[in-house]
């Protein structure tokens, strides 16, 4: 199977869907003439023209609102934020318009659109450009929130997101656009809300999503060297969450560690910990452990970044604590 970059997988998903459906268009800062801030949309302006690949001013509230209005009137916009940190400027349109319009109109309006772009830290970008918003948007009824971890999932999930009749928040990572992985040339899509068992195990379950899957898989590999068999689950979406997949794994391993980049308060990991302890308590032989970023704004200094973010060592420590080692 061919190997392509994460950014190429996203580009293929958008381009393939746009060729099949002329109601789909891409709008955002630098998506057209500059080929995308991260070159995700490279070449798309040449193929689809300026009516369907649209550069915008630095005005997230404005172009997000245009996208919502377009979706309500029969189009299927893809709105790209240069970073989800900038989505805060547009959050009223996302939360109070896109997410609620179907319910508020009694089903008369659907809002089939995708808001996509990078989330989380991307190296030395400091506090205002390094935040995680997956849990923010997952808190909102009416939205679906997808966070892929590899090129294969990125393409399959983005195609499904574009076809969905509900608004989808599609969250990527600047640090993953160059990642490579196997992606088939033939048509495929992946369902939203179905987790993937990345690695089978019997001693402990590690759950994560997005780029933190790298931490979970590396921790699992290190645990294997010590004779500890960790099962690794990639959620792929955090609204909806595939709780049955986690419960089935916990029934087998009896222990759970959740790795997430966001701050600990009201995080996805907190929700999972509550749910599993509520619905699978009798299968747990230890408390659910959570690995999150430290509860501080992310600094600029590399040493402080390293001390703040989840890492393999902290994940291994939590796994051993759950195993009473």
Helix axis angle, 151-163 relative to 6-20, nearest 10°? 30
Place of tokens 């023209």: 49
**Pair 230, 292: CB distance under 8 Å:** no
Cα gap 289→281, rounded to integer Å: 14
H or E segment to which residue 159 belongs: helix 151-163
Residue 50 CB: number of other CB atoms within 10 A? 10
pTM, rounded to two decimals: 0.96
User: Dihedrals φ, ψ of 25, to 5°?
Assistant: -145, 160
Instruction: Encode pLDDT of 25-59 as tens digits.
Output: 999 999 999 999 999 999 999 999 999 999 999 99
Instruction: Encode pLDDT of 283-302 as tens digits.
Output: 999 999 999 999 999 999 99
Which pLDDT score, from 0 to 100, does residue 325 have?
A: 79
Taken in order of first residue, the domains within the chain and their CATH numbers are: 3-182 (3.40.50.970), 196-322 (3.40.50.920)
H or E segment to which residue 222 belongs: helix 213-225
User: Cβ-count burial of 317 within 10 angstroms (0-12 exposed, 13-18 middle, 19+ buried)?
Assistant: middle
Which pLDDT score, from 0 to 100, does residue 215 have?
A: 98
Buried b (16+ CB within 10 A) or exposed e, 254-277: bbbbbbbbbbeeebbbbbbbeebe
Per-residue pLDDT for 142 more than 90? yes
Which pLDDT score, from 0 to 100, does residue 296 have?
A: 96
- Positions annotated as catalytic residues are 60, 129
**E strand intervals along the chain:** 3-5, 24-28, 53-55, 76-80, 114-118, 144-146, 168-172, 180-182, 196-199, 204-208, 230-234, 237-239, 256-259, 289-291
Cα gap 167→165, rounded to integer Å: 7
């Amino acid at each position: 199977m061919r190997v392509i970059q994460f950014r190429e997988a996203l580009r293929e998903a958008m381009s393939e869907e746009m060729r099949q459906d002329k109601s789909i268009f891409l709008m955002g800062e630098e998506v057209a003439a500059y080929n995308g801030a991260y070159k995700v949309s490279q070449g798309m302006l040449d193929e689809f023209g300026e009516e369907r690949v649209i550069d915008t001013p630095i005005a997230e509230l404005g172009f997000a609102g245009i996208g919502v209005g377009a979706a309500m009137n029969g189009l299927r916009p893809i709105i790209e934020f240069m970073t989800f940190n900038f989505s805060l400027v547009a959050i009223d349109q996302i939360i109070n318009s896109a997410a609620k319009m179907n319910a508020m109109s009694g089903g008369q309006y659907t809002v089939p659109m995708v808001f996509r772009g990078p989330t989380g830290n991307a190296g030395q970008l400091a506090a205002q450009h390094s935040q995680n918003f997956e849990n923010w948007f997952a808190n909102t009824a009416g939205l679906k929130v997808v966070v892929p971890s590899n090129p294969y999932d990125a393409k399959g999930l983005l195609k499904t997101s574009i076809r969905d009749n509900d608004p989808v928040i599609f969250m990527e990572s600047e640090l993953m656009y160059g990642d490579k992985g196997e992606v088939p040339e033939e048509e495929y899509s992946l369902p939203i809300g179905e987790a993937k068992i990345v690695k089978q195990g019997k001693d402990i379950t590690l759950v994560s999503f997005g780029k933190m899957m790298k931490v979970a898989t590396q921790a699992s590999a290190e645990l294997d060297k010590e004779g500890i068999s960790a099962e690794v689950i990639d959620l792929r979406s955090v609204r909806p969450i595939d709780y049955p997949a986690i419960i089935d794994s916990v029934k087998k391993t009896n222990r759970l560690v959740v790795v997430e980049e966001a701050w600990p308060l009201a995080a996805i990991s907190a929700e999972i910990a509550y749910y599993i302890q509520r619905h699978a308590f009798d299968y747990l032989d230890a408390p659910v452990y959570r690995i999150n970023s430290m509860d501080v704004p992310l600094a600029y200094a590399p040493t402080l970044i390293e001390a703040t973010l989840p890492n393999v060592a902290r994940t291994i420590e939590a796994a051993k604590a759950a195993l009473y080692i």
